[in-house]
C-alpha cells in the first residue's frame, strides 16, 4: 500500500508539472474556454487590462470620461501571460518547499533521532564515569581520614596509658615515702631518728623530683588531623548549593553612609549622602557596618555575598554585643573579641579577629564569597564558589548566637540567593 501511494504521488507530481508547463506555453487568448467576455457599455470584447483600475476593459473604455482615461493599458493576453508565469514560479517554489520539507521529515529527522539517542547515551556514560570517579575519590578520602582519626585516637590513648602508669608509680612512691616518714616519727627513738637524717633527706629529695601533673595537648585528640582540602571543598560546595540560608540586612543596624536596597540584600556606600536623623541603639554611627536580621546558635549555616563591584568590604560573623556607637575598635569589625571577618581593601585580603590580622594570599579577586559556619564543630570557613577554593578557615567555640556581619566602603556588595 505504501509503495502504491508513493507511486501515485509521483504520478500526481508529474501530472501537475505537465499541466503547469502547458499553461505556461499556452498562447494569448487561450485562457480557460478562450472567452474574454463583453463590455456591458460598448458591447466589445474585454481584451484589455487597465493597470490603474486593476480591471478588464474594452478598446473604447479609455475614451469614456471617468473611465480608464490616463491609465496604462495592457493587452489581456500579455497580462494573463505574466500572471501565468508568476503562478508557474509559485508552483515551482511550492514544489521546492515541499521537497525540502519532505527531505527534512524523511531524512533529517531520522538522522537527528539517531544522533539524539547516541548523544544522550554518551552523556549518560560520561555522567556515570565522572560520578563513579567522585565516589571512588570520596571513598578513598573517607578511608584515609578514618585511618588518620583512628591513628590519632590510638596515639592519644597510648599517651594516656603511659601517663597513667607513670603517675600511678609516682603515687606509690609518695605513699611509700609518707608511710616511711610516719613510721620514723612514731616508732623510731630520738637517737635512731637523728641517725637517719641522710636517709630521710635522700628519700625526701626523690619525692621532690616528682613534678606536679600538667595539662598536655598530647593527651587530647587533635581534631585538625582530619582536615582535608578535598573534604573542605566538597563540603563547602554542597552546603552552598543545597543548604544556603536566606539572609537579609537588618535596616535598623545600617550606618547612615550606607543605602539599603528594597529587597534588603544590597548595601551601597554613599559618602555624600546626608546623615539621617533617624537613630537607635542598634545603628552603627561611625563605621560602615550592618548586621543581618537572622541569627544562628547551632547547626550548619551558609550564605553568599557578591563582592565583584567593591574593593573595600568586610564580611563574616559577630555577636549581637558588638558596639554600635563610636569610632573605637569595639565597634570595628574584626578589631574586637566578638567579630570574625574576611576583608578586602585595595589589593590586600585579610582575616581579622580581636585586632589580629592574618594576610590571605589570593591569585585573583573573588566575584562571590561564601561564608560557612558549623557551630557544632566550631568552624568558620570562607569559600570562593567560582574556583571551588577555600579562602580561609578559622576554628572557634562560639558561645553566643552569631549574626552575619557586613561592611562596605566602596560601591556595593549584595547578599546572594
Domain boundaries, the chain: 139-211, 227-415
Distance CA 404, CA 365 (A): 21
pLDDT at 10: 43
329 within 8 A of 355, measured Cβ to Cβ: yes
Distance CA 287, CA 407 (A): 8
Nearest one of 390, 369, 364 to 379, comparing CA atoms? 390
Distance CA 267, CA 412 (A): 5
Residue 102: how many CA atoms within 13 Å on its side-chain side?
A: 8
pLDDT at 9: 42
pLDDT at 316: 97
Distance CA 21, CA 23 (A): 5
Q: Is the Cα torsion angle 277, 281, 285, 289 positive or negative in sign? A: negative
The listed CATH number (2.40.40.20, 2.60.120.920, 1.10.8.60, 3.40.50.1370) that belongs to domain 227-415? 2.60.120.920
pLDDT at 110: 94
Task: Give average pLDDT by consecutive 10-residue segment, the chain, 417 residues.
Answer: 42 47 47 64 90 88 78 90 94 95 95 95 93 93 94 94 92 89 87 85 83 86 88 91 92 94 94 66 94 96 96 97 95 97 94 97 93 95 94 95 97 93
Nearest one of 354, 359, 398, 405 to 380, comparing CA atoms? 398
Distance CA 392, CA 386 (A): 15
pLDDT at 6: 44
pLDDT at 71: 86
Alpha-carbon distance values, 384 to 87, 129, 251, 305, 378 (Å): 66, 26, 27, 10, 20
Residue 48: how many CA atoms within 13 Å on its side-chain side?
A: 17
Distance CA 170, CA 173 (A): 5
pLDDT at 198: 85
pLDDT at 357: 96
Alpha-carbon distance values, 122 to 115, 119, 125, 290 (Å): 10, 5, 5, 50
pLDDT at 104: 94
Amino acid at each position: 500500500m505504501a509503495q502504491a501511494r508513493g507511486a501515485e504521488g509521483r504520478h500526481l507530481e508529474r501530472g501537475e508539472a505537465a499541466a503547469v508547463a502547458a499553461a505556461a506555453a499556452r498562447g494569448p487568448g487561450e485562457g480557460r474556454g478562450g472567452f474574454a467576455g463583453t463590455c456591458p457599455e460598448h458591447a466589445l470584447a474585454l481584451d484589455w487590462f487597465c493597470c490603474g483600475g486593476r480591471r478588464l476593459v474594452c478598446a473604447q473604455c479609455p475614451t469614456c470620461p471617468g473611465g480608464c482615461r490616463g491609465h496604462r493599458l495592457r493587452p489581456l493576453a500579455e497580462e494573463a501571460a505574466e500572471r501565468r508565469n508568476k503562478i508557474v514560479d509559485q508552483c515551482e517554489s511550492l514544489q521546492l518547499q515541499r521537497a525540502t520539507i519532505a527531505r527534512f521529515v524523511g531524512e533529517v529527522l531520522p538522522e537527528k533521532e539517531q544522533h539524539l539517542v547516541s548523544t544522550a547515551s554518551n552523556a549518560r556514560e560520561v555522567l556515570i564515569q565522572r560520578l563513579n570517579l567522585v565516589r571512588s575519590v570520596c571513598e578513598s578520602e573517607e578511608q584515609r581520614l578514618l585511618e588518620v582519626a583512628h591513628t590519632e585516637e590510638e596515639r592519644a590513648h597510648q599517651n594516656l596509658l603511659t601517663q597513667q602508669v607513670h603517675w600511678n608509680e609516682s603515687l606509690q612512691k609518695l605513699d611509700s615515702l609518707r608511710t616511711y616518714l610516719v613510721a620514723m616519727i612514731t616508732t623510731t627513738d630520738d637517737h635512731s631518728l637523728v641517725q637517719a637524717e641522710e636517709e630521710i633527706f635522700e628519700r625526701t629529695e626523690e619525692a621532690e623530683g616528682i613534678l606536679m601533673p600538667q595539662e598536655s595537648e598530647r593527651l587530647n585528640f587533635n581534631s585538625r588531623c582530619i582536615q582535608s582540602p578535598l573534604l573542605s571543598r566538597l563540603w563547602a560546595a554542597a552546603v552552598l548549593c543545597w543548604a544556603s540560608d536566606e539572609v537579609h540586612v537588618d535596616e535598623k543596624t545600617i550606618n547612615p553612609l550606607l543605602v539599603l536596597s528594597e529587597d534588603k540584600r544590597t548595601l551601597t556606600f554613599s559618602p555624600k549622602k546626608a546623615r539621617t536623623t533617624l537613630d537607635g541603639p542598634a545603628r552603627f554611627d561611625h563605621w560602615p557596618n550592618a548586621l543581618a536580621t537572622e541569627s544562628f546558635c547551632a547547626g550548619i549555616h551558609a550564605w553568599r555575598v557578591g563582592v565583584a563591584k567593591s574593593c573595600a568590604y568586610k564580611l563574616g560573623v559577630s555577636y549581637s554585643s558588638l558596639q554600635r556607637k563610636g569610632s573605637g575598635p569595639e565597634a570595628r569589625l574584626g578589631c574586637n573579641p566578638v567579630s570574625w571577618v574576611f576583608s578586602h581593601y585595595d589589593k590586600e585580603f585579610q582575616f581579622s579577629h580581636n585586632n589580629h590580622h592574618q594576610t590571605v594570599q589570593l591569585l585573583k579577586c573573588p566575584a562571590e564569597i561564601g561564608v560557612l559556619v558549623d557551630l557544632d564543630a566550631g568552624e568558620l570557613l570562607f569559600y570562593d564558589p567560582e574556583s571551588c577554593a577555600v579562602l580561609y578557615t578559622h576554628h572557634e567555640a562560639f558561645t553566643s548566637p552569631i549574626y552575619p556581619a557586613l561592611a562596605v566602603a566602596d560601591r556595593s556588595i549584595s547578599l546572594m540567593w
